[in-house]
Structure 1
Amino acid sequence: MVGLNKNILRTILIISYIMIVALIISGISALFSYLNTGADRSKMLHTEIRKVEQYIPKVTWEPLQNEGRAMDNQTLNALQNDYLDAWYVKQVAYRTNKTAGIKDYYTDSARKNIIDFIALNKADTISLEATTLNHKPTLEFFSEDGQLAVITDRDVVEYKRVFKNEALVLETTETSTYKMVFLLEDGFWRIRHLVKEMSTPFVVEANKINTDSLTLKGINYYPKATPWDMFGDAFSKDTISNDFKIIKAAGLNSVRLFVQYDDFGKAEVNPLKLEKLKQTLDAAEENNLKVVLTLFDFYGDYSVMNWTLNQHHAKKIVSTFKDHNAIIAWDIKNEPNLDFDSRGEDLVVSWLDNMIDAVKSVDSIHPVTIGWSNTQSATILKDKVDFVSFHYYEDLSALDTAIKTMRKDIPNKKLVLQEFGISSYSGFWKPFGSSEEDQANYHKKIQEIIASNNLQFMSWTLYDFVDVPKAVVGSRPWRRNTQKHFGFIDKNGAKKASFKYITN
């Protein structure tokens, strides 16, 4: 028994020794691996900025003709990345009145002014929301030792909102010029000196687009089986093309389609989604239909810090398809006025205003509109849009008067009734709803109003839907079932009585 215990003890000691040796070897290996790899700034610095996800203003460098040493593209990209990181960190600091991250992107002398400014704002209960949308930097000087660079950044478009005791007191967009000295420290470019040389109000000249030829007799479109998920896994060009044939044969000339910000990949637009959208536009062109493409559907975060991401998203889609023959207009946002209460009307309108400028900077040919949810909001930004779009789901008896009021308030722009319709659902969850006959009478009447007022229109919608996602109207069955039955064609493919009045 004594010999057995000794053997057990000996075995335990041997196993323990082997484990200790393995841990030592593993530790040495990890240390060796660390010493043979470059430093990871995301771990080295606590800010862990990722501009691809958080901050992507437009940057256009002037041709490199600087004094001193020539700068290669790799160094220029590193300098640009650190420069934009510095902007982003400063904007976060001004919004929160906290200095976290400032020391990572500014040297001692440069960050003193920032820290003092934050302390003053904090004492006065002032905060600042800001972003830059455009930069045009020029490399003025790069030292022979590669440790110092001087940049002049012109036409920096800055949008700012100033708050006092959390109340908005100032909103401004300006164009500024900055001069900066950078030092290379620990392998990273930090701002040592920054001077704002000049600043002027930012003014965008109105790009007036002739809409005389614009004629919309159309319909809002989703496939029957995949509403609000048109470009998902069940995407089918054949299905869409067949539906477009039905729309064209009904006497309509256009469709309104929707791009969802999250679905399309946010700032980094998914190329697979772009390909599906291209196939859809191709199908429209093949069937001689024009497309009003609505951007930012189901997007409700207008935060200033996200503007560069939003504009990057919009510019990618617009630049990709601005030359497609099917495109007839861009619709910036579907029913943004529904976000006024939750996000603030001033912020939403400023976001729309700047987004119009962003789209027009890429496409100066196609008109731009906004899909307001009612007639009351239609006058907002009426001088920025090229035609005015509004939705109407209210009592038809008031529509004629509402149109005349809009015509008085907006005398020089075309009006498009961009959404309208009525559900034919009358069942267990809504026993006093409308019938298919009621729906037909509704469309007959509204087409008479459209014709008498010489309105352009896009109705809602071609099909009754098999299912409606809860994210669209919520989980209440009376709302979901009602939303399923707005179509001119039922879920079995049979034309309803209202189809006779799909156009006037």
Structure 2
Amino acid sequence: MVKADKNIMRGFLVLTYIIIISMLIFVIGSSFSYLNTGADRSSMLHTEVKKATVYLPKLTWTTDGNEGRKLDAQTLAKIESDYLDAWYVKQVVYKTNQTTGIDDFYTESARKNIVAFITQNKAENISIQATTLSHQPNIEFFSEDGQLIVLKDENVVEYKQLYKDEKFVMETTETATYKVILLLEDGFWRVRHLVKERVKSVETATEKQAVPNLNMKGINYYPQATPWDMFGDQFDIEIIKNDFDIIKDAGLNTIRIFVQYEDFGKANVNEEKLEKLQQVLDAAATKKLQVVLTLFDFYGNYEILDWTLTQRHAETIVSRFKNHTAIVAWDIKNEPNLDFESRGKQNVLAWLESMISLIKSIDSTHLVTIGWSNTESAHLLQDKVDFVSFHYYNAAADFMRHYANLKAKITDKPIVLGEFGQSSYGGFWKPFSGSEQKQATYFKEMQAMLKAENISFLSWTLYDFEEIPSSVVGNRPWRTNPQKKFGFIDKDGKRKLAFEFMVE
């Protein structure tokens, strides 16, 4: 019995020894593996989103001035990535007054200046929201050991807003030149030196332009089966062509269509969507219909650090279609004034102005406007647009009063009624409020006034719809049901009484 106990004890000790040794081997192996594995760069960014999806200023490299080692394309791409990461993190740091992330993108000496700057801002309760919109870096020197880069970054367009005590104080747009030194540390290019050499304020005033001669008699268009999803999986160009025949035969000459920011792929615009848009524009040109193309539908962020993404989106679309014969105008955004309260009027207007400037720099031929939701906001940025566009859904009897108030504020720009209409719905949720006869009377009265004042117009809309996406007016039936019946043609394809008054 004693011998058996000794054997059990001996076996237990051996087993314990084996377990301990196994654990030690596992720990040593794991540590060795960790020490030989580089840090995950995306986790170092501290933004939880890679730079490729959050910061895309327009960047044009010039390497003519390089006096050192030859620079290959792969190294240049790596420098660009780390350099823009550094800019993005700096903007986040200045906005939040937190130092998180700067260790990864700035050397110890460069961090001192950043820390001192945000320490002072924190003490005075100041924050800066900023972005760069374009860079033109020139490689001046690449060291023989491949560890140091000297570059001059010219024509850096910077937009900044300064806040004190969480209240907006001022904004500025400037063009600057930076002298930059980058060091290769731990496989990443870190900023060692970033000094602004020259600064020039950007004039926001635009040159006085000739008043365009507009003669728009048009309609806002969605296919009946795919409202607010015109370029989706059910896209059918034959249906759209047939609808264009109806519009043209009714005596109209213009359509307004919409490009949704997310649907088209945000900054990385979806080529398939562009091809569908190409088909629509080609069909419009064939039918001799001019197109007002509304950009950024359902976009509502306006955050300054989001600007570079929206600029790449607009740049892709406008560059692609700026020479298309069907385009008559770019409508920057549908009803942006509805975002004033939730996003801040200052942010919305600043984004609009920046976007107008970008689009005009790409396309100097076509007109630019903004689709304001009412007459009260439509005078804003009138010096930046080529014509003023507003929407009106109030009573026909009040139209001339609203129009006269707006016209008194507009000095030298044409005014277009970009949306107007009345629902024929008179069901349970709004009994007796509408009917086909009331809708027809509304358009008859409106067309008489539009003709008398020679006002260009785009009515809403060709068809009644079976379903309205919740993103448009929500889910409440007293809102969605009336929205379904703004068309000149009902859900069964029958022309309603108002069809007679699509045009005077």
By the TM > 0.5 criterion, same fold? yes
User: Corresponding residue for 1:252?
Assistant: 252
User: Corresponding residue for 1:157?
Assistant: 157
- Answer yes or no: is 1:373 the counterpart of 2:370: no
User: Corresponding residue for 1:494?
Assistant: 494
User: Corresponding residue for 1:476?
Assistant: 476
Whole-angstrom CA distance in 1 between matches of 2:44 and 2:124 = 34
- Counting matched residue pairs gives 489
Matches within 5 A, 1:334-373: 334-373=334-373
Tell me how far 1:41 sits from its aligned partner.
Answer: 2.1
- Contact 1:209–1:366 (8 Å) recurs in 2: no
Deviation per residue, 1:320-361 (Å, 9 max, x gap): 111112111100000011111111111111110001011111
Whole-angstrom CA distance in 1 between matches of 2:233 and 2:129 = 39
- Contact 1:46–1:101 (8 Å) recurs in 2: yes
Deviation per residue, 1:382-423 (Å, 9 max, x gap): 010001101111122222233233333213111110000000
Whole-angstrom CA distance in 1 between matches of 2:223 and 2:252 = 17
Tell me how far 1:463 sits from its aligned partner.
Answer: 0.4
User: Corresponding residue for 1:438?
Assistant: 438
Output the aligned Cα RMSD.
Answer: 2.6
Matches within 5 A, 1:455-474: 455-474=455-474
Tell me how far 1:144 sits from its aligned partner.
Answer: 1.3
Deviation per residue, 1:203-249 (Å, 9 max, x gap): 25636665534321110001111111111111111111111110011
Deviation per residue, 1:171-220 (Å, 9 max, x gap): 11111111111111111111111211121211256366655343211100
User: Corresponding residue for 1:176?
Assistant: 176
- Answer yes or no: is 1:393 the counterpart of 2:375: no
Question: Quick one: which amino acid aligns to residue 501 of structure 2?
Answer: Y
* 1:467–1:46 Cα change, 3 Å: closer
* 1:341–1:187 Cα change, 3 Å: same
* 1:114–1:44 Cα change, 3 Å: closer
Whole-angstrom CA distance in 2 between matches of 1:343 and 1:406 = 24
Question: Quick one: which amino acid aligns to residue 199 of structure 1?
Answer: V
Matches within 5 A, 1:178-197: 178-197=178-197
Deviation per residue, 1:277-302 (Å, 9 max, x gap): 11111221121111101001111111
User: Corresponding residue for 1:382?
Assistant: 382
3-state DSSP class of the match of 2:400?
helix
3-state DSSP class of the match of 2:117?
helix
Whole-angstrom CA distance in 2 between matches of 1:208 and 1:299 = 30
Question: Quick one: which amino acid aligns to residue 140 of structure 2?
Answer: E
3-state DSSP class of the match of 2:399?
helix
Whole-angstrom CA distance in 2 between matches of 1:39 and 1:124 = 36
Whole-angstrom CA distance in 1 between matches of 2:323 and 2:441 = 40
Matches within 5 A, 1:98-113: 98-113=98-113
User: Corresponding residue for 2:224?
Assistant: 224
Whole-angstrom CA distance in 1 between matches of 2:46 and 2:454 = 61
TM-score of the two chains, using structure 2 as the length reference:
0.92
Whole-angstrom CA distance in 2 between matches of 1:33 and 1:230 = 51
3-state DSSP class of the match of 2:190?
strand
* 1:493–1:252 Cα change, 3 Å: same
Tell me how far 1:44 sits from its aligned partner.
Answer: 5.9
Matches within 5 A, 1:31-430: 40-43=40-43, 46=46, 50-203=50-203, 206=206, 210=210, 212-430=212-430
* 1:43–1:126 Cα change, 3 Å: closer
Q: Provide the identity percentage.
A: 59
Whole-angstrom CA distance in 1 between matches of 2:61 and 2:181 = 16
* 1:341–1:499 Cα change, 3 Å: same
- Answer yes or no: is 1:452 the counterpart of 2:433: no
Deviation per residue, 1:352-384 (Å, 9 max, x gap): 000101111111111100001111111100010
TM-score of the two chains, using structure 1 as the length reference:
0.92
Whole-angstrom CA distance in 2 between matches of 1:381 and 1:346 = 12
- Structure 2: any 5+ residue segments left out of the alignment? 1-17
Whole-angstrom CA distance in 1 between matches of 2:362 and 2:193 = 34
Tell me how far 1:96 sits from its aligned partner.
Answer: 0.8
- Structure 1: any 5+ residue segments left out of the alignment? 1-16
Question: Quick one: which amino acid aligns to residue 75 of structure 1?
Answer: T
Tell me how far 1:133 sits from its aligned partner.
Answer: 0.5
Whole-angstrom CA distance in 2 between matches of 1:208 and 1:496 = 44
3-state DSSP class of the match of 2:246?
helix
Question: Quick one: which amino acid aligns to residue 230 of structure 1?
Answer: M
Whole-angstrom CA distance in 2 between matches of 1:110 and 1:98 = 16
Whole-angstrom CA distance in 2 between matches of 1:200 and 1:347 = 22
Tell me how far 1:46 sits from its aligned partner.
Answer: 4.8
